[in-house]
Amino acid sequence: MEVHCQNGLFSDTRFGKAFMKSLAAIKESVLTKEKIRRAFIFTIPDQSVCYWSAAMFEILGLEPINNPTLDYLFDSIHDSDRIKVKDIYHTFIERPSSKYAVDFKLVSATYDQELFLFVQQEEFGDDIGILLFVKPAVESQLEVIPGDEIARELKVNQLTQFFEGIGYWEYYPDEDRIKWSNQIYNMLGVHHGTSLSFKDFSTTAFPEDVQNFQKIINELSQENSDFQIETRHIVNGDLIYGLSRGTSLWNGSRMLKMMGSFEDITQYQVTQERLQHIEQIANVGWYEINLLDKKKSLASDQYLKMHGFEFTGRMPSINELLACIHPDDQERVVESRNSLYKDYTGWLPFEYRVVMSDGTIRYIESVGEVIKSSISGEPFKVIAVTKDITEIKLKELQLTHANELAQLGWYENDVTNDELKVSKEFLSIHELDHYDRDEFWKKVHPDDVRELDKISHEFPSYEHGYSFQYRITLKSGDLRYAQNIGKYVRDPVSNKLIKVMGTVQDITRFKSLEDRLQRAQKISQTGWFEYDMIHPTGSSFSQEWLDMHDFDHQPKKIDDFLDKIHPIDRQMIPSMAEFLNKMPDEWYHLDYRILTRYGHKRYISNSARVVYKDGQPSKIFGTTIDVTKSRVTERALKESERKYRLMSENSRDAILLLEAREKGMVITFASDYVEDLSGYSKYKLLGMEATQLMHKEDKLRFNRDILPKLLFAQESTAVVFRLFREDGEYLWVEANVGVLIEETPVKIQLSVRDISERKAFEEQLLMTNNDLQAMIKATEDIVFIVKPNLMFERVIVNDESKLHIPSADFIGKKLKTIWADDNGKVLCKMVEDAFRTGKSGRHDYPYTLRGVLDWYRAHIHIFKGYDEQERVSVMIEKITTQKKAEEELRRTMEMERELSRMRSSFVSMASHQFKTPLTVIKSNMQLLDLSGKDDPLTKKVSARLTREVDRMVVLMEDILTLGKAQSGAIKPRFKMIDLVKLINSIKSDVDMSQKDGRSLKLEVIGNQRMAKLDEGLMRQAVLNLVTNAFKYSYEKPNPVVTIDYSSANSIKIIVKDFGLGISEDNLSRIFKDFYRSEDVSHIPGTGLGLSVTSEFLKINKCTISVESELGEGSLFTVLIRHHNER
């Protein structure tokens, strides 16, 4: 029979090798290219510092020792090369600025392999040292690099990286002073430059490690001067392992100083601890054989323990090993060892048995690999891993024995390769010599072929596997019943079905017992069940159990059964696992109710026992009895007992008793409160047919739906109806109705309560809700209502096509499961923030629905519902048109800015081109005046031409200034100015030029203060206003300028005249370019003064307004706000 070990560590050869390689990497530092690059010696001769990297020992084939010197290097070099290497070193000492390289062979070299030694000067902290760097020579590529490149490579790739976790130190016991290199300060988190004592070092290490350090110091002597100490330190909350190695200098019996290196070995130590922990958990051991020196071979404690050895720390000899191995397996172990030493290829996993001292047998699985030198290619070490698989082997033997006793066979179908493996028990059950598909189907009973063929095609769709029974026709003509249970193995990455495994059991004897049991069950109305917790498809239920639980066929999953349980009883079984945790191993007469597909209730009494496997429930066996009749009787008795108590209590409910008579349900009892509720005296109600008190629509529903349920199902219920009062009004009431079963004739009890206020509130709420939904649906918006548990409660939409899924699919679902894209995640976050902070939010986003891209805007608001519970509404509106309009507006504004720039450019160019001829004309007119000609006509024409030229110059200046202002070419220079001083300056200019003798009047309101403005632009703007005030009020009262400081947030400059005024039609157009009213056409002007004024005020972040009445003058107000962006 085929047996597969699925829980063994080495059942998969690839996994076994991978584990062995990982362990080899932990236990042995293989000489890789990276290690070769880090093979160096760093020495500071005058400080007796000589540090060897681990790779240096390795590449030279030397045994690592404490405090090696350069002599250890020179002794390893072949005699023919030793002198030239020493010469190179001493030459470098004399001329350290140069770089040297020399090739050499090793004493131990067994092959023609050369190495290169590079020597150069390097800085280390504040010290200057010598770096000796070794690399193998390659015939095809000399690795002698120019000196500068060597220095750069060593400094970046080797020295800096390696010494990052290594430092050196010196300790002077007479002075109790420690000197550290910078690396140690960094590793132990101590401030640089601090003068340190041994006590300071002690504060960084574990107390027990400090004691051990002190003990080792005390044991040092001139003869025993070297040391190696491991310490632990807490640095910034992290555990650091440190290794100190060095020597001590003595003067007789007095120690002068200690010096050595300090190395961070945290990663190595943690790795070692993890390896030991893994070995203990996995019951795995290892050993390594040193092929160059067998005495240096090692074995882990776990390996020795599983082979029964009591010693530790060394590898057992082959004779010691064979002494504990089972005699039948010794030859295979010896053959495996001989094969290893013959070709050094390692070996695949193989098993052998170990006989322990107490006579017990252990099964061991072993896998190994040979490690070869990366330089010579010769094998130098064997590493192997072993695992104790005794428990697995014993289970395999027990399983084989159990299959034989239980007449249980197995099969395994590899779906990928369409290969089927079966056990010999499987063949025996089907009376087959070997598996043949056609022969198998001939054995199946004709009536079962169709069902079996259906399962063979549909089984991949079954969720947890399958379980079914079928019959086999034997050679004798008898029938054999077989139970088939199968499960699936899927690829963990793709979830693709790769294997189907199952068992087949001969259940003929059990089937006979089952038939007899079913006959007994029908008599006793008892059902039974066997529920398999591990493989639910293997569960069994009797027909009686299925009938009483309203099943037509066996339930496929436990939820099918739990869904049948009454909601109240369902609360005690939140899940099968939680239910079993709080229940004993056995229970009796546990009652629960189920709801049938027709809405009826059944009372079931359950007794069961739980079987556990490995501490977890595996199966539940039990029986069930339908106790509906007895429970209903008990409930009716309790209702009867309550009847008289309810009638005697002072309740705000009206109590009525109805009795079934020929004319219907007649009232036979009424409590006192009935009079307040109905308006009828209780004596007038006695003998009345009860439904006369109901609205005709409620009466029909009561007789059709409620009364049959009361009389035949004998179930209590609640009914809401409209009570017809004696005054002719209807009152909404709620009645709890129950049947007094023991009474004859049948009597019904009603407990009636006034719910008119609640009903009115519900109707109002319904109307409000309907209005709200109608309003929302009348718009194009979509509204989502979200509960505090971040689930959708409602969706309101006038067109389902606006959603990517039906609105009903949102209800009860988590936001994150529906809104899973990037925009949805943003909305989910905003909803969460709204619940947390109570703040609203808005989010614009693009979304493609059915291939059409639109823009949407989500409005997030939190509110309290009718039940005072907080909810969040998410209203989605489509803003595609708005977005397009905004984009169009942006393009239009950009075009307008470009046109404005072009206009300004043109105006500037035109103004400049006009200035030149106008200047020439004016110059000629001035020459004409100076010529002395006394011709009246000539003088008249000359004066007129001069005035027109001056007017054209002013016009060109205004056009040019306006163009610069409108194009943004004028850059303001803001500073603090005195407005009173500014107005007085303007006053001085305009007063002198007035032909009618008028002057500007200035008034100041409030406390004077400075304002931050562009003085030149502000002066021109106010000057234009003042000039206009004089121009359009000739021979009228003096214009007035008022500076109002009364407001703390702003300053006003008010310019008032008493002249012509402006009509209401012209007020909105006076600030436009070149606009002049027909009323002032007789007064000279360009129509640009107020346009320039408006632009200059905008640049100063000010506003201007005007009030005027025709014939009454005008009032211009300039508002200067504080704290603007000037």
Verify that 978 and 1111 share a domain, yes or no: yes
Verify that 640 and 683 share a domain, yes or no: yes
Verify that 1107 and 979 share a domain, yes or no: yes
Q: Which of 84, 99, 103 is nearest to 142 (CA)?
A: 103
* 886 within some domain: yes
C-alpha distance from residue 523 to each of 601, 622, 854 (Å) = 22, 18, 71
Contact (CB, 8 A) for 347 and 339 = yes
* 273 within some domain: no
Lowest mean pLDDT across 52-61, 81-90, 635-644, 970-979 = 635-644
Average pLDDT of the segment spanning 89-102: 71
- Residue 833 has a pLDDT of 93
Task: For residue 650, give its domain range.
Answer: 631-754
Lowest mean pLDDT across 835-849, 884-898, 1041-1055 = 884-898
* 917 within some domain: yes
Average pLDDT of the segment spanning 731-735: 89
Contact (CB, 8 A) for 1030 and 1017 = no
Query: Residue 522: enclosing H or E segment and its boundaries?
Result: helix 508-524
Q: What is the pLDDT of residues 762-809, one digit of tens each?
A: 776 666 666 566 555 556 789 899 999 999 988 988 888 888 899 889
Q: What is the distance between the alpha carbons of residues 154 and 124, in angstroms, rounded to a whole number?
A: 12
Total Cβ atoms within 10 A of residue 651: 14
Q: What is the pLDDT of residues 106-158, one digit of tens each?
A: 876 654 557 777 777 765 545 566 777 676 654 333 333 333 443 344 344 44
DSSP reduced 3-state for 408: strand
Residue 1021, pLDDT > 60, answer yes
Verify that 293 and 370 share a domain, yes or no: yes
* 13 within some domain: no
**1123 token code pair:** 């704290």
Verify that 621 and 637 share a domain, yes or no: no
Q: Which of 316, 304, 47, 77 is nearest to 170 (CA)?
A: 47
Average pLDDT of the segment spanning 274-294: 78
Residue type, 301: D
* 702 within some domain: yes
Where is the domain boundary, 902, 935, 969? 969
Q: What is the distance between the alpha carbons of residues 187 and 262, in angstroms, rounded to a whole number?
A: 10
Average pLDDT of the segment spanning 228-253: 88
Verify that 1103 and 985 share a domain, yes or no: yes
Verify that 856 and 947 share a domain, yes or no: no
Verify that 660 and 616 share a domain, yes or no: no
Q: Which of 1100, 1065, 1069, 1073 is nearest to 1089 (CA)?
A: 1073
Residue 895, pLDDT > 60, answer yes
**Cα 1045 from chain centroid?**
59
Contact (CB, 8 A) for 524 and 626 = no
**pLDDT-derived band at 635, boundaries 50, 70, 90:** confident
Phi first, then psi: what are they for 201, rounded to 5°?
-65, -40
- Residue 5 has a pLDDT of 30
**pLDDT-derived band at 1008, boundaries 50, 70, 90:** very high
Verify that 1113 and 987 share a domain, yes or no: yes
**Helices of type H across 713-810:** 756-778
Q: What is the CATH number of the domain that holds 1022?
A: 3.30.565.10
* 938 within some domain: yes
Verify that 654 and 746 share a domain, yes or no: yes
**794 token code pair:** 């409602």
Query: What is the DSSP pairing of strand 227-235 with strand 238-251?
Result: antiparallel
**999 token code pair:** 């002057």
Total domains in the chain come to 9
Q: Residue 157 has what DSSP assignment?
A: I
Average pLDDT of the segment spanning 87-91: 79
Where is the domain boundary, 506, 522, 547? 506
Q: What is the CATH number of the domain that holds 847?
A: 3.30.450.20
- Residue 835 has a pLDDT of 92
Q: What is the distance between the alpha carbons of residues 287 and 24, in angstroms, rounded to a whole number?
A: 10
Q: Give the residue, 519 or 389, on which the prediction is more confident.
A: 389
**pLDDT-derived band at 366, boundaries 50, 70, 90:** confident
Residue type, 717: T
Q: Which of 242, 83, 111 is nearest to 165 (CA)?
A: 242
**Residues contacting 1039, CB < 8 A, separation 6+:** 998, 1000, 1001, 1026, 1029, 1030, 1033, 1055, 1056, 1057, 1058
**770 token code pair:** 């309907």
Contact (CB, 8 A) for 390 and 363 = yes
Q: Which of 539, 532, 569, 545 is nearest to 623 (CA)?
A: 545
Angle at which helices 936-967 and 880-930 cross, to 10°: 150
Residue 650, pLDDT > 60, answer no
**Cα 758 from chain centroid?**
46
- Residue 362 has a pLDDT of 92
Residue count of the chain, please give it: 1126
* 810 within some domain: yes
Residue 583, pLDDT > 90, answer no
**pLDDT-derived band at 19, boundaries 50, 70, 90:** very low
Q: What is the distance between the alpha carbons of residues 912 and 221, in angstroms, rounded to a whole number?
A: 103
- Residue 1120 has a pLDDT of 92
**1024 token code pair:** 């234009």
Where is the domain boundary, 393, 419, 450? 393
Task: Give the chain's mean pLDDT.
Answer: 79
- Count Cβ neighbours within 10 Å for each residue of 99-111 and write b for 16 or more, e otherwise: bbbbebbbeebee
Rama region for 850: left / alpha / beta (φ>0; ψ in -120 to 50; rest): left
DSSP reduced 3-state for 348: strand
* 171 within some domain: yes
C-alpha distance from residue 380 to each of 34, 231, 346 (Å) = 20, 33, 13
Residue type, 720: V
Residue 820, pLDDT > 50, answer yes
Verify that 288 and 244 share a domain, yes or no: no
Residue type, 82: R
The per-type count for the chain, helices as H runs and strands as E runs, is: 37, 42
Lowest mean pLDDT across 21-30, 583-592, 965-974 = 21-30
- Residue 338 has a pLDDT of 76
Query: What is the DSSP pairing of strand 1040-1044 with strand 1001-1005?
Result: parallel
| Cis amide leading into 745 (omega within 30) | yes
Q: What is the distance between the alpha carbons of residues 846 and 854, in angstroms, rounded to a whole number?
A: 6
Verify that 1057 and 955 share a domain, yes or no: no
Residue 24, pLDDT > 50, answer no
Phi first, then psi: what are they for 642, rounded to 5°?
-75, -25
Total Cβ atoms within 10 A of residue 752: 25
Contact (CB, 8 A) for 290 and 297 = yes
C-alpha distance from residue 114 to each of 62, 109, 111, 268 (Å) = 16, 9, 9, 32
**Cα 252 from chain centroid?**
68
